[in-house]
Structure 1
Amino acid sequence: MKSVQIYTDGACKGNPGPGGYGAVLLYKTYRRELSGGFRHTTNNRMEIFAAIAAVELLNEPCEITLYSDSSYLVNAVTKRWLYNWKRSGWVKRDGQPVNNIDLWKRFLAAVEPHKLHMVWVKGHADNVENSRCDALAVAAAARRNALPPDTGFR
């Protein structure tokens, strides 16, 4: 199984507002950067979408180490919130619906064939790849009016 490192970040100009995501995929000497965004979204949605966009590029099952500065994303996986939300029909303990259900379902589908390891990294703390993802996400969010709508955002 190939071992791939993925770094991701999301950004939003206002929350909600124009948002962007950035990701860097590393496999041996291969490097791929990607970015994009949406006209009106949230930072959390962009954090999740960055991970989805990167993982969906993989053509075969891989061992993925995914680095993110999003506690929301990392904790959803490592603390098993995501799996508990799914089991409870996407309702939290307080009876409220889980935010970003559309993206969480897509995330689960994307990572299903892979072996996933999540690693939290401190944002803006001299991690070269995290800083690059941040720059990609901020640049994407700055395209504001050129961005498509986030049809899943309510």
Structure 2
Amino acid sequence: MWGKSSLAVSQLIVISTFFLILGGCATTTGSGENAEFSNLIEKASSQYEAGLLTEAESSYRKVTALRPDYYEPWLKLGNIYVRTGQLEAAVRMFRECTELRPDDVRGWSNLSLTRLKQSLAVLDDAQQYFPSESTGAAVLRNSRESLIKNLVD
């Protein structure tokens, strides 16, 4: 009986060692991936802060591909798109923010401000189709003033 127990203990040690080694490999790989991910985030952030928006966009896109549940890159992408006049893309990014973290006010606030920019842009674009003294131009001016007034009140 002692022999069988000894064999079982030996097998248990071999199996335990195997799993420890396997676990160590997984941790090492994970650590490398985490370091690479951290470096990518740092790179994107540096590019963003330096105003290198095209490069930052590319880096943040890579981050979202690796971790689609990570909030900050979506927010930064939205800000990049606002700054570059790509308002529809900005809305999509801020929508993603509100879905990922509905309790974070930044996504909601940026989404609403972007929608306001879109509204003002629509009114400004429409002006070109109406002579400045026409009824249509007056309606558009009133709509713009009303939108702005309601924001202040």
TM-score scaled by structure 1?
A: 0.21
The one of the two structures with greater contact order (alpha-carbon pairs below 8 A, sep at least 6) is 1
Richer in strand (by share): 1
Richer in helix (by share): 2
TM-score scaled by structure 2?
A: 0.21
